A and B are shown apart, each in its own frame.
Chain A
Amino acid sequence: MSICKKYFEFSCALMLSISVIACSSTSVPNASGIQTKYINPNKESRSSGVGIESNDVINMADKMVRSILNEPTFAGLSQAPRVLVDETNFTLDGNSRINRKLITTRLRNGLTQAANGRMVFVARYAQRAIEAERELKLAGLVDKGTIRQTQATAGVDFKLVGNILTSDERHANGMTSRYHFINFELVDMELGVTVWADAYEFKKTGVDDVVYR
């Protein structure tokens, strides 16, 4: 009788173990949802890709603002130079898809705040609206404003050019990585030479689950 009881106990334990090991059921992640909340864009996000994230945009824009304002070429000018910072010559030359305006607008915004009159920024992106307003003034449909009148809108002394370059690597162990080199230059729009250049670079790596390799 005792041997039967032992068999029974052993069998029950075995079955229970098999049931626990075999049934790898999973629940729905965040089944009840997650309420909207603010998160700090300066922090690394929990999204898991090898592309550019918000903290990269903020860090690179801040770095470029400091770098441009510390450039002696601009400090030594008798008049504040007119600078055009937009995405028109800022190109994507890699595998990371990003809205270029996000970078150039963040950079222009940071520069405008920090330059404190040492540079002025040409609003070419608003050119159509500016021209329309000038025509209204010229036609006498509105008055001439309170500050000044000019012959023409501002010409550009320096323009931002740059590109986002990437290099992707895939390793035999499934690891993928992407190196970003984000190049920024200010070009003298009269002489055609680069007067300032800097770059922001980073590399991200990760391994996808084997079911995707």
Chain B
Amino acid sequence: MDSVKQLPLISIFVASTLAAGCASVTKTQPGILSNLLDEANNSAGKQVSNSPQTHPVYLQPYIAQNKKTGLRDQVLVNMRAGVTALEHGDHHITRRLMEDAYTRIETIYADNKAAKAARSNYVEEANKDFKGEPYERAMVGYYLGIADMLNDNLQSAKTAFSWGEYQDTMSAGEEYQADMTSLMFLRGWAKHCAGETSAAKDDFAAANLTPQQNANLLVLIESGQGPVKYASGKHSEKLKFKAAPQTDNGFIKIKFNEQNFYPDKIEDLVHQATTRNGRSIDAILQGKAEFKDSTKNVADVAAATATASLTYANVSSMYGDHNSAQNASAIGALFALGSLVAGAMSENTIPEADTRQWNNLPRFIHAQTMFADDDYALSDIVVSGEFGEVKIKPQQTGQCYFAWHKVSG
């Protein structure tokens, strides 16, 4: 009987152990953003001293975040910091950060402990190293290609755009596979500027976008806020995407060499995010949600049975049937224990979908091609709209010129 009396205590101990021990995420290794920034500066021949304190001020929040979240979120930090660096004109940094993200996304995670833990009932999906959803992976190819073009490396740019396009095909259930027209067009443009005219035409045809006659200048403008991830379902086990409240910046006008242009929208990332079907992990998360419900039901039924058994034990004891009372109380204690354990298992099951997201992506990409005489090809381009007016400068890329701008706000 003494043993039976100890059961509730032991049950509480086990339940506490489950609660404390099982809900924790696996540890990760320290982040490497500072090292990547050093590498970027060294390879670009920048004369800066390599220490976190001397890295650009605008990247300090990412360095702090990287210290906190480590390698688990390295790709995510690279993505966000890479875009910010491009906005500040540091395309050599963007290139190194996106290159690292590319390598990590390319890595096949087989027998990876963090990924394995993310599949277990008691660890959230966000425990896995972040690689992003297909549209996010594709945009790594996009920014890597842009940084390559700005570094005048058109061959690598071709590969980056092509790889990005391939990332868009990763969902077997996607309704519109390989439909990122911006990447097809940009691959064609990189070929066009590298003098690979015939191959470029094929890509322009695939993208259904044809540059202007004799075009040698491309202006890319990004606007709006990218797709927003959210978790739906009873236990937030379903990953969904929606448009951000601020999705557009209105019209975009380009003025160059006394001529006005209204660039075409060549990409809508919300369309890209929302036109894919489920992921393979969704079935696992669904299973976790069902496990959470079923263990909760088991806990409830066991608790009710325990209550009934203890009531019966009390009644039996009152009538002097001590043998039945003892057995009933033992059974009641066992069901109470079962209820506690099942309850703890239910409580500690984490079916929530991973909603970590690349939060500084645009929604739209606009493109304008034009002819620029070498005499004025490097002159200012005025980009204007409801957001105001900004001047940007093209850079030479192979036989062409290229300018990029992200409309903020």
Select A213's contact among B113, B122, B123, B281, beta carbons within 8 Å: B281
Select B170's contact among A12, A24, A50, A170, beta carbons within 8 Å: A170
- Cβ-defined contact, A211 with B119, below 8 A: yes
Please give, as numbers and ranges, the residues of chain B lying within 8 Å of A7 by CB-CB distance: 3-4, 7, 330-331, 333-334
The answer to whether the Cβ of B269 comes within 8 Å of any Cβ in the partner chain is: no
The chain B residue with its CB closest to the CB of A93 is B158
Interface string of A182-199 (1 = CB under 8 A from B): 000000000000000000
The chain B residue with its CB closest to the CB of A51 is B106
The answer to whether the Cβ of B14 comes within 8 Å of any Cβ in the partner chain is: yes
The answer to whether the Cβ of B259 comes within 8 Å of any Cβ in the partner chain is: no
- Cβ-defined contact, A48 with B14, below 8 A: no
- Within the complex, the shortest CB–CB distance from B118 to chain A, in Å, comes to 5
Select B108's contact among A4, A92, A206, beta carbons within 8 Å: A206
- Cβ-defined contact, B327 with A3, below 8 A: yes
The answer to whether the Cβ of B215 comes within 8 Å of any Cβ in the partner chain is: no
- Cβ-defined contact, B108 with A48, below 8 A: yes
The chain A residue with its CB closest to the CB of B172 is A172
- Cβ-defined contact, B159 with A3, below 8 A: no
Query: Assuming the A-B contacts A19-B17, A213-B280, are A11 and B110 also in contact, with contact meaning beta carbons closer than 8 angstroms in the complex?
Result: no
In the complex, A209→B10 CA distance in Å?
37
- Cβ-defined contact, B110 with A92, below 8 A: no
In the complex, the number of residue pairs spanning A and B with C-beta atoms less than 8 Å apart equals: 156
- Cβ-defined contact, B116 with A209, below 8 A: yes
The answer to whether the Cβ of B29 comes within 8 Å of any Cβ in the partner chain is: yes
- Cβ-defined contact, A1 with B1, below 8 A: yes
In the complex, A27→B107 CA distance in Å?
21
Please give, as numbers and ranges, the residues of chain A lying within 8 Å of B110 by CB-CB distance: 48, 206-209
- Within the complex, the shortest CB–CB distance from A76 to chain B, in Å, comes to 34
Query: Assuming the A-B contacts A8-B7, A24-B122, A176-B108, are A92 and B159 also in contact, with contact meaning beta carbons closer than 8 angstroms in the complex?
Result: yes
Please give, as numbers and ranges, the residues of chain A lying within 8 Å of B341 by CB-CB distance: 14-15, 18
The answer to whether the Cβ of A126 comes within 8 Å of any Cβ in the partner chain is: no
The answer to whether the Cβ of B243 comes within 8 Å of any Cβ in the partner chain is: no
Interface string of A71-107 (1 = CB under 8 A from B): 0000000000000000000011111110010000000
Q: Quick one: which of A36-61 are within 8 Å of B by CB?
A: 47-51
Please give, as numbers and ranges, the residues of chain A lying within 8 Å of B117 by CB-CB distance: 24-26
Provide the main secondary structure of the chain B interface.
helix
In the complex, A91→B163 CA distance in Å?
15
- Within the complex, the shortest CB–CB distance from A4 to chain B, in Å, comes to 5
The answer to whether the Cβ of A168 comes within 8 Å of any Cβ in the partner chain is: yes
- Within the complex, the shortest CB–CB distance from A70 to chain B, in Å, comes to 29
Q: Quick one: which of A143-197 are within 8 Å of B by CB?
A: 168, 170, 172, 174, 176
- Within the complex, the shortest CB–CB distance from B149 to chain A, in Å, comes to 14
The answer to whether the Cβ of B256 comes within 8 Å of any Cβ in the partner chain is: no
Select A91's contact among B6, B21, B196, B334, beta carbons within 8 Å: B196
- Within the complex, the shortest CB–CB distance from B119 to chain A, in Å, comes to 6
Please give, as numbers and ranges, the residues of chain A lying within 8 Å of B123 by CB-CB distance: 24
In the complex, A18→B170 CA distance in Å?
37
The chain A residue with its CB closest to the CB of B29 is A28
Interface string of B336-348 (1 = CB under 8 A from A): 0100010001001
- Cβ-defined contact, A97 with B21, below 8 A: no
Max chain B C-beta neighbours (<10 A), residue from A7, A30, A96: A7
Query: Assuming the A-B contacts A8-B7, A24-B122, A92-B155, are A210 and B281 also in contact, with contact meaning beta carbons closer than 8 angstroms in the complex?
Result: yes
Query: Assuming the A-B contacts A209-B115, A211-B115, are A4 and B330 also in contact, with contact meaning beta carbons closer than 8 angstroms in the complex?
Result: yes
- Cβ-defined contact, A94 with B7, below 8 A: no
- Cβ-defined contact, A211 with B281, below 8 A: yes
- Cβ-defined contact, B166 with A95, below 8 A: yes
In the complex, A117→B89 CA distance in Å?
48
The chain A residue with its CB closest to the CB of B14 is A15
Query: Assuming the A-B contacts A7-B334, A12-B10, A22-B18, are A212 and B3 also in contact, with contact meaning beta carbons closer than 8 angstroms in the complex?
Result: no
Query: Assuming the A-B contacts A93-B158, A97-B159, A211-B119, are A25 and B196 also in contact, with contact meaning beta carbons closer than 8 angstroms in the complex?
Result: no
- Cβ-defined contact, B169 with A170, below 8 A: yes
The answer to whether the Cβ of A5 comes within 8 Å of any Cβ in the partner chain is: yes
The answer to whether the Cβ of B91 comes within 8 Å of any Cβ in the partner chain is: no
The answer to whether the Cβ of A23 comes within 8 Å of any Cβ in the partner chain is: yes
- Within the complex, the shortest CB–CB distance from B173 to chain A, in Å, comes to 10
In the complex, A12→B370 CA distance in Å?
77
- Within the complex, the shortest CB–CB distance from A201 to chain B, in Å, comes to 18
In the complex, A22→B113 CA distance in Å?
15
B interface residues (Cβ-Cβ under 8 A, vs A): 1, 3-4, 6-7, 10-11, 14, 17-18, 21-22, 24, 26-29, 99, 102-103, 106-110, 112-123, 125, 128, 131, 155-156, 158-160, 162-163, 166, 169-170, 172, 194, 196, 199, 279-281, 284, 326-327, 330-331, 333-334, 337, 341, 345, 348
Jot down 25 A-B pairs with beta carbons below 8 A, ordered by A: A14-B341, A15-B11, A15-B14, A15-B337, A18-B341, A18-B345, A22-B121, A24-B116, A26-B26, A26-B27, A28-B27, A31-B27, A50-B108, A91-B158, A91-B194, A93-B158, A95-B159, A95-B163, A95-B166, A96-B159, A170-B169, A172-B172, A208-B108, A209-B115, A212-B115
Counting from the closest, the 7 A-B pairs by CB-CB distance are A8-B3, A209-B115, A206-B108, A213-B280, A28-B27, A26-B113, A26-B26
